[in-house]
């Protein structure tokens, strides 16, 4: 099968089809999405070697439990041991023995086929087309914020960053508060949000808006992936407010953490989230992420797709597998 | 009156007695404590110029409301405007217009007299001697952690740092959990905690103890004031756990914040706390902070006292005013 393999650089290869281990299904990938984490992996993040990719929608083509055959599925990316103290405490996504699809010791989704444990799979309702379903994983990551903090209808929320994840977070937050502001640098990306009636500001506009303490947001979500975004988040957040840290930084940033203490800010790290809730939102049509797809490539052109995804004006690039 | 004045360097001066403004009391300082923040101020923190000091116990010698005269008091250090949106929301300690005793635009406590609004004062119960009462402010700061996070009797808690504040935090945490570990580098300081039955470990012992995820603490309090302490806190904390950041860093540290996101840690900045609760604990004798006093100086030797407080093996140095 064709697969985009990473070993220092991304390389489209012919590889043998993966063989499901006990409890695993073999899945024919239909559509896969390129995430910023994939781009970080190309830069050396996690020291990953193997088939890249973790966002996908596919069809089960082999499984011990034959009721899964032919079913359209999405899959949780963390594969836990199931027996350690964290797994037993319900923290499977934090299992220290875990592998992670296309990120840590597990062959990924930029391929014709992948394998995952049946326990990681979720059926995709029929009314969700592949182009929406492929967003389940990042939408779940956006929804994770609401598993960690409460956002009420009058809460002032700011999202910093207009990348793929920032936009999904904004769409999610817009469902929960009428006081959302999104701060970004790319008018064409922000226009997707403005079409949903979301207020979008430039950094200088936001700095002015948030200069008075009466207007500072209770919640700021940092989704830029750079230290300047974190600095702004700490500056803009209301005293005793919450800053959600959604993106990892490739290198150790030099950050002035004094505002965290002086303003008594709660900084919440947030990663993967609940697939069932993401599927519900997609099935109910509350969020349509398809405007975020800026281009589609066949798997055979995966290297070009990765180059495209790295461009500043790209949002979601998908691979037809 | 004598006062320790800071203007680039600490200088014992003869200054006129302060004159209370409307709503303020004139207080004769009895005993004052030297805090790490005072040492940071000597290094240039906050760009403060004026009479240093914010931890004190004193006696009211002048006030419009004469019922305060002769009363022994401690005083909250943040002087709020009382009318902004944060003050109205109960966040007076975060008032953007605030002055702070001996820290920000308000003459401090290393003096024979100081002034504070009556609304900042708390009566000291008779059974609390001055040597305990002088710890009210830092004990309140330690207690603030419990205003922000919940600690149950079985929760694993680690406190990193065996300085003045670290020890007070440890004594407070010991009242709430039987699973406390304090990590420090100074056996003679840790011995104060060991006398109360608290488990104390060196950094290498703690690294070994917390290497297995089953033993990682749910809560880690960082009270070392250096970036290495924060690095260890993020490493040791359980996934989805809480790291409390209690000390400000003089400079911007280079910190790898990836663990915050990957482990979904909640980082809680924590500053000043509730005086009434601190006074209750001192009155009930639940905590006796006096073993933390390593030396006492008369106000006339305040410069020598500050030098003493800067020594590695010092804990609380107090000034008899």
Work out the mean pLDDT of chain B and round it to a whole number.
Answer: 95
Residue B280's SS3 state is helix
| Per-residue pLDDT, B91 | 93
The runs of H, that is alpha helices, within chain A are 36-42, 85-88, 130-133, 136-148, 164-174, 187-194, 203-209, 227-236, 258-262, 275-283, 302-309
Average pLDDT over residues B15-39: 96
Mean pLDDT in order along chain A per 10 residues (321 residues): 97 97 97 95 89 98 97 97 94 94 97 98 98 98 97 96 97 97 97 97 97 93 92 96 85 82 96 97 98 98 97 96 94
CA distances, A162 to each of A166, A184, A232, B170, B292 (Å): 5, 5, 15, 43, 51
Contact B320, B57 (CB under 8 A): no
pLDDT digits (tens, 9 = 90+) for B92-118: 999 999 999 999 999 999 999 999 999
Interfacial residues of A (vs B; Cβ cutoff 8 Å): 84-86, 91, 94, 96, 148, 213-214, 230, 238-240, 245-249, 252-271
* Cα gap A97→A154, rounded to integer Å: 41
Straight-line distance from the first to the last Cα atom of chain B, in angstroms, rounded to the nearest whole number: 10
For residue B3, count CB atoms less than 10 angstroms from its CB and return exposed for 0-12, middle for 13-18, buried for 19 or more: buried
3-state helix, strand, coil in chain B (%, to 5): 35, 25, 40
Q: List C-alpha distances in Å: B228 to B160, B213, B234, B249.
A: 10, 20, 10, 11
Is pLDDT of B47 > 70? yes
| Beta carbons of A134 and A32 less than 8 angstroms apart | yes
Q: What is the 3-state secondary structure (H, E, C) of B195-214?
A: CCCCEEECHHHHHHHCCCHH
Residue A261: which of B96, B247, B264 has the nearest Cβ?
A: B247
Burial of A134 (0-12, 13-18, 19+ CB in 10 A): buried
| Cα separation, A269 vs A278, whole angstroms | 19
Q: Following CA atoms B130, B131, B136, B137 in sequence, which dihedral angle do they give, to the nearest 10 degrees?
A: 110
Rounded CA-CA distance B18/B107 in Å is 9
Q: For residue A58, what are the β-bridge partners?
A: A29, A73
DSSP B112: S
Helical axes B136-148 vs B164-174, angle rounded to 10°:
50
Contacts 24+ apart (CB under 8 A), B86-95: B86/A213, B86/A238, B86/A239, B91/A239, B91/A240, B93/B271, B93/B272, B94/A239, B94/A240, B94/A263, B94/A264
List Cα–Cα distances, A57 to A125, B147, B227, in angstroms: 12, 45, 42
Which candidate in B231, B258, B259 is best for mutational testing of the A interface (most A CBs within 10 A)?
B258
Cβ distance of A264 and B271 shorter than 8 Å: yes
pLDDT at site B250: 60
Decide if B216 contacts B241 (C-beta within 8 A): yes
Report which of residues B74 and A227 the model is more confident about.
Answer: B74
Question: Which pLDDT does position A289 carry in this prediction?
Answer: 98
Interface test with A, best of B165, B212, B256, B257 (most A CBs within 10 A): B257
Q: Indicate whether B257 pLDDT > 90.
A: no
Residue of B nearest to A242 (CA): B268
3-state DSSP assignment of residue A168: helix
Contact A94 B258 (CB under 8 A): no
Q: Chain A: give the shortest CA distance to residue B261, in Å.
A: 4
Residue A250, pLDDT score? 60
Show residues of chain A in contact with B265, CB under 8 Å: 269
Asked if residue B249 has pLDDT above 80, the reply is no
Q: Under an 8 Å CB criterion, which residues of B touch A?
A: 84-86, 91, 94, 96, 148, 213-214, 230, 238-240, 245-249, 252-271
Which residues in B lie closer than 8 A to residue A214 (C-beta atoms)? 84-85
Q: What is the pLDDT of residue A213?
A: 85
Q: Do the Cβ atoms of A267 and B260 come within 8 Å?
A: yes
Beta strands in B50-197 (DSSP E): 50-51, 55-62, 72-75, 78-79, 99-100, 113-117, 121-123, 156-160, 179-183
* Average pLDDT of the residues in B249-268: 86
Between β-strands A55-62 and A24-33, what pairing exists: parallel, antiparallel or unpaired? Answer: antiparallel
Q: What element of type H or E holds B147?
A: helix B136-148
The total of other beta-carbon atoms located within 10 Å of residue B47's CB is 7
Least CA distance to A94: which residue of chain B? B239
- Chains A, B: CB pairs < 8 Å: 118
Q: Do A213 and B262 touch (CB under 8 A)?
A: no
The confidence score (pLDDT) of residue B253 equals: 74
> Which of B264, B273, B274 is the mutation pick for testing A, counting most A CBs within 10 A?
B264
Provide the shortest C-alpha distance from residue B143 to chain A (in Å).
14
Chain-centroid distance of CA B138 in Å reads 3
Tracing tokens 């207690």 back to the chain, one arrives at B143
Coil/strand/helix, residue B228: helix
Out of B86, B249, B254, whose CB is closest to A258?
A: B249
Alpha carbons A174 and A176: distance in angstroms, whole number: 5
Instruction: Answer whether B94 sits within 8 Å of A240, measured CB to CB.
Output: yes
CB contact under 8 A, B269 and A247: no
The residue assigned the tokens 């965290």 is A260
Question: Quick one: tokens of B77?
Answer: 């250090």
Q: How far apart are CA A140 and CA A14, in angstroms?
A: 32
Asked if residue B290 lies in contact with residue B195, where contact means CB atoms within 8 angstroms, the answer is no
Q: In which element (H, E) is residue A200 found?
A: strand A199-201
Residue-wise pLDDT for B139-189, tens only, equals: 999 999 999 999 999 999 999 999 999 999 999 999 999 999 999 999 999
In this prediction, residue B272 has a pLDDT band, given cuts at 50, 70 and 90, of very high
Question: Contacts of residue B239 in chain A, CB cutoff 8 Å?
Answer: 86, 91, 94
pLDDT at residue B251 greater than cutoff 90 = no
pLDDT tier for residue B255 given thresholds of 50, 70 and 90: confident
Q: Could you report the per-residue pLDDT of B84-93, keeping only the tens digit for each? A: 999 999 999 9
**With contacts defined as CB-CB under 8 Å, which chain B residues touch A259?**
269
B94: nearest CB among A239, A255, A267: A239
Q: Taking CB atoms and an 8 Å limit, are B255 and A255 in contact across chains?
A: yes
Structure tokens given for A118:
């049946």
Q: Report the residue of chain B nearest A85, measured CA to CA.
A: B214
Distance from CA of A77 to the nearest CA of B (A): 14
Nearest by CB to A262, from B85, B258, B271: name it: B271
Q: Sort out which chain B residues have CB atoms less than 8 A from A96's CB and list them.
A: 213
Pairing of strands B2-6, B50-51: antiparallel
- The DSSP-derived string for A1-24 is -EEEEESSSEEEEE-PPP-PPTTE
Q: Do B253 and A255 touch (CB under 8 A)?
A: yes
Query: Which regions of A77-145 does DSSP assign to beta strands (E)?
Result: 78-79, 99-101, 105-106, 113-117, 121-123
Are B148 and A255 inside 8 Å of each other by CB? Answer: no
Whether residue A94 and residue B240 make contact (CB cut-off 8 A), yes or no, is yes
Going by the DSSP 8-state scheme, the letter that residue A51 receives in this structure is: E
> Distance (Å) from the C-alpha of residue B269 to the closest C-alpha of chain A?
4
Of the candidates A84, A94, A259, the beta carbon closest to that of B263 is on A94
B29/B2 Cα distance (integer angstroms): 11
User: What is residue B104's DSSP assignment?
Assistant: B
User: A-chain residues within 8 Å CB-CB of B262?
Assistant: 248, 269, 271
- Report the share of chain B in percent with pLDDT over 70: 99
**If we measure between CA atoms, which residue out of A128, A132, A56 comes closest to residue A291?**
A132
* CA atoms of B81 and B84, how far apart (whole Å): 7
Task: Please name the member of A248, A262, A268 whose beta carbon is closest to the beta carbon of B258.
Answer: A248
Instruction: Compute the 3-state secondary structure of chain A and give helix, strand, coil in percent, each to the nearest 5.
Output: 35, 25, 40
Q: Are A245 and B257 a contacting pair at CB < 8 A?
A: yes
Contact yes or no for B269 and A262 at CB 8 A: yes
């Amino acid at each position: 099968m064709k697969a985009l393999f990473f070993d220092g650089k991304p390389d489209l290869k012919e590889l043998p089809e993966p063989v499901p281990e006990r409890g695993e299904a073999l899945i024919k990938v239909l559509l896969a999405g390129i995430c910023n984490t994939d781009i970080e992996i190309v830069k050396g993040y996690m020291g990953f070697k193997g088939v890249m990719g973790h966002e996908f929608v596919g069809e089960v083509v082999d499984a011990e439990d034959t009721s899964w055959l032919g079913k359209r599925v999405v899959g949780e990316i963390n594969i836990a041991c199931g027996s350690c103290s964290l797994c037993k405490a319900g923290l499977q996504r934090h299992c220290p023995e875990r592998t992670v699809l296309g990120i840590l010791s597990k062959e990924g989704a930029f391929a014709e086929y992948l394998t995952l444990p049946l326990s990681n799979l979720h059926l995709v309702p029929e009314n969700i087309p592949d182009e929406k379903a492929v967003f389940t994983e990042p939408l779940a990551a956006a929804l994770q914020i609401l598993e960690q903090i409460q956002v009420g209808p009058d809460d002032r929320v700011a999202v910093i960053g207009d990348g793929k994840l920032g936009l999904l977070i904004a769409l999610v937050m817009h469902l929960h508060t009428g006081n959302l502001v999104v701060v970004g640098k790319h008018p064409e990306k922000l226009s997707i949000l403005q079409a949903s009636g979301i207020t979008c500001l430039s950094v200088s506009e936001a700095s002015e808006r948030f200069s008075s303490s009466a207007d500072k947001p209770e919640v700021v979500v940092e989704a830029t992936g750079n230290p300047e975004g974190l600095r702004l988040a700490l500056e803009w957040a209301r005293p005793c407010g919450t800053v959600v840290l959604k993106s990892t930084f490739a290198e150790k940033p030099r950050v002035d953490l004094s505002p965290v203490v002086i303003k008594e800010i709660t900084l919440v790290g947030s990663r993967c989230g609940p697939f069932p809730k993401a599927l519900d939102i997609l099935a109910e049509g509350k969020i349509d992420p398809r405007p975020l797809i800026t281009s589609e490539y066949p798997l055979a052109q995966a290297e070009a797709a990765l180059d495209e995804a790295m461009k500043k004006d790209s949002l979601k690039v998908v691979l037809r597998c």
